[in-house]
Amino acid sequence: MTSSAIISHPIKSIADLPVDETLATALLTSLAEYSEQLHGRRLWLACSGGRDSLALAALCVQLYRQGKLPFLPQLLHVNHGLQADSGAWAKHVADWAEVQKIPCQILHAQVNGHDEQAARQARYGVMRAQLNQDDVLLLAHHADDQAETVLMRLIQGAGVNGLSGIQPWCIQTQGTHRMALWRPWLTVQRASISTYAQHLKLPYIDDPTNDAGDNVRSGLRRDIMPALTKYNPNVIENIARSAQLLSDAQATVSAQSAKDMHHTAISSLQLPPAQRVLNIDELQKLPLYRKRQLLHYWLGQDEPLPPAKQLVDEVLHLSQRDNNDHQTELFWQGRKQSYTLRRYRQQLYRLSNDWLAWLNMPLNDQTQTLAPANLSNISSNGLSENNLAPIHLRTSTDFTWQLQISPQALTQLLDNTEDEHALQTVVKITALDRKQRLQTALASRPQSGKKLYQTLGIPSWLRESLIVVSVMCIHTDEELPLLLVSPFESWVLGSDHSGIHFDDNQLAKYIESNLSLNKRV
């Protein structure tokens, strides 16, 4: 089975053929720059069988055989099945790799869509599944690709980050999986690769759709880049240099934004990537350009693509409102998650919609009875205040919220009770009712749950996630509220009862609320 798209050169060993010094220098220079990151990692090379990726594979074989390259990457070819010749192309790449004695695996991808973006997502998806954690994927992108990318993003209205183009080294994550993308040829031009491929008589696949002009990138390649080259023969090199300068500028901007966020983020309310919170008072202290850059940086955390300028402007406007309308919501559909942007008082929230759905799940009301027998078991098992018994309040595949109560605390609680009949005690975990009246330790009188929302500054989306921890003596039916708990904070409850007393430090020590992510959402 053959294909007319395959350049009609016979497959032969290229190990002993002349090496192109320009391409070799670019690869070895990049190797030296990222040697620390590459150390101990397994390498793969994404090989479509086209001119660029086959040339990079050929150069790796040559330099490895000469002892100049310390590794020989394994080839990964993805068969999308989108064209009639896809099977022939996959076999051709495997045959070429076999002659060169370089490992090769053929992967099959199911593409959901018909455009290049859908094919790209499918391609990276199956390659990511093949790679182990922190493996490196070697890619043959070059200076012409960089120039096309910068122009494409300029047309789309990108900022400094987008105009910095393709990065030679970056970490790509999907859920908990992480891999590195390495592009050592961003400084060399397509013409140099073409010359090298001709000298080696590489039988590469010349996919006719690459220059069809039916998408933005191929249209730029076919129509715009040749026209620009007439005005300045060094246009590709110059755009690549501009991308590098903009990349340096973006690093400076990101460093400043990271510092600003450190001073502006409310650390006690963070649950990345589900919830991120900024202090609006601190945000307003910054000059306007740093506010925009900070919001751009803050919103884009946990996402592979940055937010649009329009969204940044809308969030900035939300943070600057001086009225008391806290119902305004903004929505952002990111690549990984969808988000809701809310303001409550002087706090700005970026909330994942999975997190908001979890907050609407019902809480588990629970009771636990303690009797003298239970306490003797605690003592005989040698449990101390560091051995905490978890009580699950709300859990799902994404998040777990649990309360940890020390057996030592319960022992002390009963020791402080003068009435021996009170030794049979129930610990109650219940959701706060809007009409329930409680008195926090610092308040002068009890307040209803509805009033406590306002007094304690609880946003509307967290109000169904307030629980009351109480103890009740079975003999007297007397219930003593001890603690009001949210996923992020807790408040000691005051009481007129004289039988049992805890101070703030004791309760913080004996009763702990823990919220954790079961996976990256």
Give the residue numbers of the binding site for ATP: 48-53
∠ CA 100-55-223, rounded to 5°: 155
Look at the block and give the residue holding tokens 């501009």. 242
Whole-number Å distance between alpha carbons of 220 and 230: 14
Residue type, 292: R
Contact 478, 462 (CB under 8 A): no
Given a contact cutoff of 8 angstroms between Cβ atoms, the answer to whether 521 and 434 are in contact is no
- Sequence-distant (6+) residues with CB within 8 A of 446 are 437, 438, 439
Residue 340 makes CB contacts below 8 A (sequence gap 6+) with 329, 330, 331, 349, 350, 351, 353, 356
Q: Kind and range of the H or E element at 348?
A: strand 347-352
- In terms of Cβ atoms closer than 10 Å to its own Cβ (0-12, 13-18, 19+), residue 310 is exposed
Token digits of residue 360:
């609407």
Structure tokens at 289: 């350009």
Beta bridge pairs of residue 468: 430, 484
Contact between 74 and 43 under an 8 Å Cβ cutoff? The reply is yes
3-class SS at 436?
Answer: coil
- Are 431 and 467 contacting, i.e. CB atoms less than 8 angstroms apart? yes
In the 8-state DSSP scheme, what is residue 267? G
d(CA 394, CA 60): 53
Within 10 Å of residue 304's Cβ, how many Cβ atoms? 12
Nearest alpha-carbon partner for 512 in 483, 481, 471: 483
Report the Cα–Cα distance between both ends of the chain, in Å, rounded.
45
- DSSP-assigned states of every residue in 302-318: T-SSPPPHHHHHHHHHH
Cα–Cα distance for residue pair 277/269, rounded to 1 Å: 6
- 341, containing H or E segment: strand 338-344
Binding-site residue numbers are: 48-53
The torsion defined by the Cα of 85, 91, 94 and 96, in degrees rounded to 10, comes to -80
**Kind of pairing, strands 136-138 and 43-46?**
parallel
SS3 state at 325? coil
Torsion of CA 204, 208, 212, 218, to 10 degrees: -20
